[in-house]
């Protein structure tokens, strides 16, 4: 038994050495071209989020004149199909066949768990433009991992803090019945100290919320907090408005009312609240340029996903530029990445020791634009220079 284990670990280390050798050889060979693997969900109902990230990223590349950090840039786009096994296969292709120096992705948190290890173990930088799970923010933080969005909990915390500050006493919580839904409730309760009148976990993908909304109406809470991404959020918002609740019970939400769902929610969403690091109307020059150019290029209002994709491109641009295009020097690249030395549409932010941003968070509200399209707009700042609660467990300094 012992001998078997030894020989197996021997094979593994030989493989690892071979992979490392291949990576080094590849880097030496392709020093003039910057190769980036862009991976997200591009098929199925959630494709609209991955598409926003990609659009934002490609706009960032375009703003850099097609040359991130002054280097000839090749972006290889992959669809992870929202399936972990597919994602692992494609990320290995990116690493071993295409020999990319950066992987930008994925869109969804469950996919991050699949690709984080293969990418970081190949000593390749993984820039997540959206997914920010708690496990990689704490003990398992990694020097090759950077996040241009947020730690997932923080968005839910925004609404909890707002409910607490606003003096709400009784709040009704409703999220889908899976890990992210339970994390959402925990995040909300981190700052909310009032009474939770009921917690409802609905099946993932539920279409009709009439039963739950009748319960909300009968309990008459001070506010509803919910996290219903994608199609679920569209159904919930329309039905919330139709049940006549939108005008009587404040609707506090995370990832439920944003630029990806507003085109379908339309007037039903007006006045409903969300939490985010940014909104299209955030007043700074970098954001004005970003929103105007995005709309010119793609014809839709960018959401936070697009902004985070855009910043992933800007982040790579700034770091490669700072190191003078030396892609082999990973330590120098890491130091440059950490500085986040670029003009983000969300305003200046810096990276925490765990590779997640320390940044401002806002309460946002759905509104109609003068051109008839819909967007979220800043209501008030909830957190300033806010880092996540897991960073203290990260051994990196």
Among 266, 277, 318, 359, the residue binding other proteins under the rule CB under 8 A is: 266
Residue from 54, 260, 304, 376 touching other proteins (CB under 8 A): that is: 260
**HEC string of the chain?**
CHHHHHHHHHHHHHHHHHHHHHHHHHHHHCCCEEEEEEEECCCCCCHHHHHHHHHHHHHHHHHCCCCHHHCEEEEEEEECCCCHHHHHHHHHHHHHHCCCCEEECCCCHHHHHHHHHHHHHCCCEEEECCCCCCCCCCCCCCCCEEECCCCHHHHHHHHHHHHHHHCCCEEEEEEECCHHHHHHHHHHHHHCCCEEEEEEEECCCCCCCHHHHHHHHHHCCCEEEECCCCHHHHHHHHHHHHCCCCCCCCEEECCCCCCCCHHHHHHHHCCCEEEECCCCCCCCHHHHHHHHHHHHHHCCCCCHHHHHHHHHHHHHHHHHHHCCCCCCCHHHHHHHHHHCCCCCCCCCCEECCCCCEEEEEEEEEEEECCCCCEEEEEEEEEEEEECCCCHHHCCCC
Select the residue interacting with other proteins from 76, 88, 264, 295 (CB under 8 A): 264
Q: In the complex with other proteins, which residue's Cβ is closer, 84 or 231?
A: 231
Would you say 38 or 327 has its CB closer to other proteins? 38
Q: Looking at 51, 101, 253, 344, which residue binds other proteins (CB under 8 A)?
A: 51
Cβ distance to other proteins smaller for residue 231 or 325 = 231
Q: Which is nearer to other proteins, 262 or 319 (CB)?
A: 262
Q: Is 263 or 324 the residue whose CB approaches other proteins more closely?
A: 263
Bond prior to 310 in cis (omega within 30° of 0): no
Binding residues for other proteins restricted to 94-153, rule: CB under 8 A? none
Residue 81 interacts with other proteins (CB under 8 A): yes or no = no
Is 202 an interacting residue with respect to other proteins (CB under 8 A)? yes
Q: Name the one range near other proteins by CB under 8 A: 37-45, 100-108, 186-194, 352-360.
A: 37-45
CB of 346 closer than 8 Å to CB of 282? yes
179 binds other proteins (CB under 8 A): no
CB of 244 to other proteins, least distance (A): 4
**Does the footprint of other proteins cover residue 270 (CB under 8 A)?**
no
CB of 46 to other proteins, least distance (A): 8
Q: Report, in Å, the least distance between residue 223 CB and other proteins.
A: 15
Comparing CB distances to other proteins, the nearer of 226 and 261 is 261
Q: Identify which of residues 201 and 379 has a Cβ nearer to other proteins in the complex.
A: 201
Query: Of the candidates 6, 16, 45, 385, which one interacts with other proteins according to CB under 8 A?
Result: 45
Tell me the two tokens of residue 66.
């097609």
- Give me the 207-246 binding string for other proteins, x by CB under 8 A, dash otherwise: xx-xxx-xx-xx-x---------xx--xx--xx--xxx--
The span of 256-264, 304-312, 316-324, 329-337 binding other proteins (CB under 8 A) equals 256-264
For other proteins, the binding residues in 299-358 under the rule CB under 8 A are none
**Smallest gap, in angstroms, from Cβ of residue 207 to other proteins?**
5
**16 vs 262: CA distance, rounded Å:** 47
Output the CA–CA distances (angstroms, integers) from residue 206 to 176, 230, 232, 244, in the order listed.
Answer: 8, 11, 6, 20
Give the distance between the most distant pair of CA atoms in the chain.
Answer: 72
Q: Does 10 bind other proteins (CB under 8 A)?
A: no
CA distances from 49 to 1, 46, 313 (A): 48, 6, 17
CB of 256 to other proteins, least distance (A): 12
| Sign of the dihedral through C-alpha 243, 249, 250, 256 | negative
Binding status of residue 373 toward other proteins by CB under 8 A: no
Least distance from other proteins to the Cβ atom of residue 81, Å: 12
Residue whose CB is less far from other proteins, 113 or 243: 243
Q: CB-wise, 52 or 354, nearer to other proteins?
A: 52
Residues that bind other proteins (CB under 8 A): 43-45, 47-48, 51, 177, 198-203, 205, 207-208, 210-212, 214-215, 217-218, 220, 230-231, 234-235, 238-239, 242-244, 260-261, 263-267
């Amino acid at each position: 038994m012992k001998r078997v284990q030894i020989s197996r670990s021997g094979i593994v280390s030989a493989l690892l050495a071979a992979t490392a050798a291949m990576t080094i050889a590849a880097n030496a060979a392709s020093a003039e071209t910057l190769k980036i693997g862009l991976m997200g969900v591009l098929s199925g109902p959630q494709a609209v989020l991955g598409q926003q990230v990609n659009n934002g990223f490609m706009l960032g590349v375009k703003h850099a004149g097609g040359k991130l950090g002054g280097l000839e840039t090749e972006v290889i786009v992959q669809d992870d199909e929202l399936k972990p096994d597919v994602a692992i296969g494609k990320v290995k292709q990116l690493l071993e066949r295409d020999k990319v120096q950066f992987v930008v992705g994925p869109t969804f948190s469950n996919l991050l768990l699949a690709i984080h290890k293969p990418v970081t173990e190949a000593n390749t930088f993984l820039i997540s433009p959206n997914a920010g799970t708690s496990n990689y923010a704490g003990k398992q933080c990694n020097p090759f991992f950077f996040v241009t969005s947020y730690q997932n909990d923080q968005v839910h915390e925004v609404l909890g803090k707002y409910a607490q500050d606003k003096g709400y006493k009784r709040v009704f919580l409703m999220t889908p019945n899976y890990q992210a839904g339970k994390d959402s409730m925990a995040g909300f309760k981190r700052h909310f100290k009032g009474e939770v009148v009921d917690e409802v976990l609905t099946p993932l993908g539920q279409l009709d919320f009439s039963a739950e909304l009748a319960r909300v109406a009968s309990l008459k809470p001070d506010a509803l907090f919910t996290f219903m991404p994608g199609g679920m959020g569209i159904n919930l918002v329309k039905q919330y408005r139709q049940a006549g609740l939108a005008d009587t019970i404040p609707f506090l939400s995370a990832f439920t009312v944003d630029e990806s769902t507003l085109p379908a929610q339309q007037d039903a969403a007006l006045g409903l609240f969300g939490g985010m690091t940014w909104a299209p109307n955030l007043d700074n020059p970098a954001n004005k340029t970003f929103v105007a150019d995005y709309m010119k290029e793609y014809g839709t209002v960018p959401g936070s996903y697009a902004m985070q994709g855009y910043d992933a491109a800007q982040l790579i641009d700034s770091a490669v530029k700072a190191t003078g295009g030396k892609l082999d020097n990973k330590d120098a690249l890491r130091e440059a990445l950490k500085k986040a030395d670029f003009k983000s549409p969300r305003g200046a932010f810096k990276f925490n020791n765990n590779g997640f941003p320390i940044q401002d968070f806002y309460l946002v509200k759905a509104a109609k634009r003068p051109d008839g399209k819909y967007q979220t707009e800043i209501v008030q700042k909830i957190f300033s220079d806010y880092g996540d609660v897991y960073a203290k467990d990260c051994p990196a300094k």
